[in-house]
Amino acid sequence: MKKFFILFLFSLLAISCTGNRGGNVLTGSTGKSTPHRIVCLSTTHIAALHAIGADSLIVGVSGAQYISNQLINRRLKKGTVTDIGYEASINWETLLSLKPDIVFVYDIAGENAPYIQKMKRFKLNVVKINDFNQESPLKRLEILKQFGKILGKESAADSIINDITIQYNTLKKKVASCEKVPVLINAPYKEVWYIPGKDNYMSKMISDAGGEIEGSREGEMRSFPYSVESAFVFARNAKIWLLQNNDQDMKIVSAENPLFSKIPAFESGNVWNNNLRVTAGGGNDFWESGIVEPQYILEDLIRIFHPGTLPEGSFHFYRKLD
């Protein structure tokens, strides 16, 4: 649960770091030979490797309970993939016993994170890929190119990116002329309600789907902290309420704050959450495969904001709360 919440906070804060705009998402040496034994510290990296057909090379992961990928889960049960633990509490003996050719890591604090430095002292081949630094849904797909280059699968990566880009833009055009639907996003954490700026990854996707986040600031990527009272002002105009937490039904939502039941989107039954595909341990596939399948998130959002625009179909990541 802790790791999932950290990833959620990254979506609110870390992807908004203006100093990382346009920066390379990969650092470190990749060595001369193609890696055959990979350790991943992020579930997003697992999804990217799966997309280019390289997840069979994974021998180690971090936080098995949060992983949605079925192949990796089967191999975890068989013992051919091992959970090495988390950053500050990595089982170093286990990690070294795996003899990885490469370790894919992420790091918010910077290259001087202690666990990364320790890996380098052990002469491990460490490559940092911070997908959450990318400011748009399609820009995040660039991580596939990075993995493709390292693993000799550049053609596969380019083909996937091209196909997804076409799908995404085709969906986007279907609602380009539709009136924007006002949207309330998130819920308070410790009495603070974070609302992403208009240049934020999630804000752009909601805009592409024909929605507009209430309270979102122009020209900003980072999420801004608002009081619950301020957020309630934004909530008055919202027709849709999008959550990004573990709430399973309306009863749970209203129990968090009795005033939530007075929000118009709540009263009209238009509260949605992106937790359709979660693991027993609290992981959410929205933050795993959703990062490399933005067209499916966009499709879900269009169905929510503009019902009837698309042919009937199933939701991929979002569910309507009862």
- In a shared domain, residues 130 and 188: no
Average model confidence (pLDDT) for the chain? 89
Cβ-Cβ contacts under 8 Å for 97 (sequence gap 6 or more) = none
For residues 110-127, average pLDDT: 86
**Can you name the residues that pair with 223 across neighbouring β-strands?**
196
- In a shared domain, residues 12 and 148: yes
With pLDDT > 90 as the criterion, what percentage of the chain qualifies? 79
pLDDT surpassing 70 at residue 137: yes
For residues 130-143, average pLDDT: 82
Please say which residue of 136, 170, 204 terminates a domain.
Answer: 170
- In a shared domain, residues 103 and 204: no
pTM here is: 0.88
Q: List, for residues 302-319, the tens digit of each pLDDT value.
A: 999 999 999 999 999 999
pLDDT surpassing 80 at residue 140: yes
Q: List, for residues 287-300, the tens digit of each pLDDT value.
A: 999 999 999 999 99
The CB density around residue 108, as the number of other CB atoms within 10 Å, is 14
Residue 44 tokens, joined: 């997003």
pLDDT surpassing 80 at residue 111: no
DSSP string over 26-55: EES---SSPPSSEEES-HHHHHHHHHTT-G
Q: List, for residues 217-259, the tens digit of each pLDDT value.
A: 999 988 999 999 999 999 999 999 999 999 999 999 999 999 9
- In a shared domain, residues 7 and 141: yes
Helical residues (DSSP H) of 38-183, grouped into ranges? 43-51, 70-78, 92-97, 114-121, 142-151, 154-174
Please say which residue of 137, 170, 203 terminates a domain.
Answer: 170
Give pLDDT, residue 135.
76
Q: List, for residues 150-189, the tens digit of each pLDDT value.
A: 999 999 999 999 999 999 999 999 999 999 999 999 999 8
Tell me the CATH number at 32. Answer: 3.40.50.1980
3-class DSSP assignment, residue 107: coil
For residues 91-98, average pLDDT: 98
- In a shared domain, residues 18 and 75: yes
DSSP string over 168-236: HHHHHHHTTTSPPEEEEE---BTTEEEEE-TTSHHHHHHHHTTEEETTPPTT--SEEEEEHHHHHHHHT
- In a shared domain, residues 145 and 221: no
Give pLDDT, residue 18.
36
- In a shared domain, residues 207 and 307: yes
Confidence of residue 133 (pLDDT cuts 50, 70, 90): low
- In a shared domain, residues 26 and 129: yes
Place of tokens 């390292």: 150
Give how many domains the chain has, as a whole number. 2
Sign of the dihedral defined by the CA atoms of residues 218, 233, 226, 223, in that order: negative
- In a shared domain, residues 14 and 154: yes
Q: Which domain holds residue 312?
A: 176-320
- In a shared domain, residues 210 and 265: yes
- In a shared domain, residues 85 and 203: no
Please say which residue of 112, 141, 170 terminates a domain.
Answer: 170
- In a shared domain, residues 127 and 165: yes
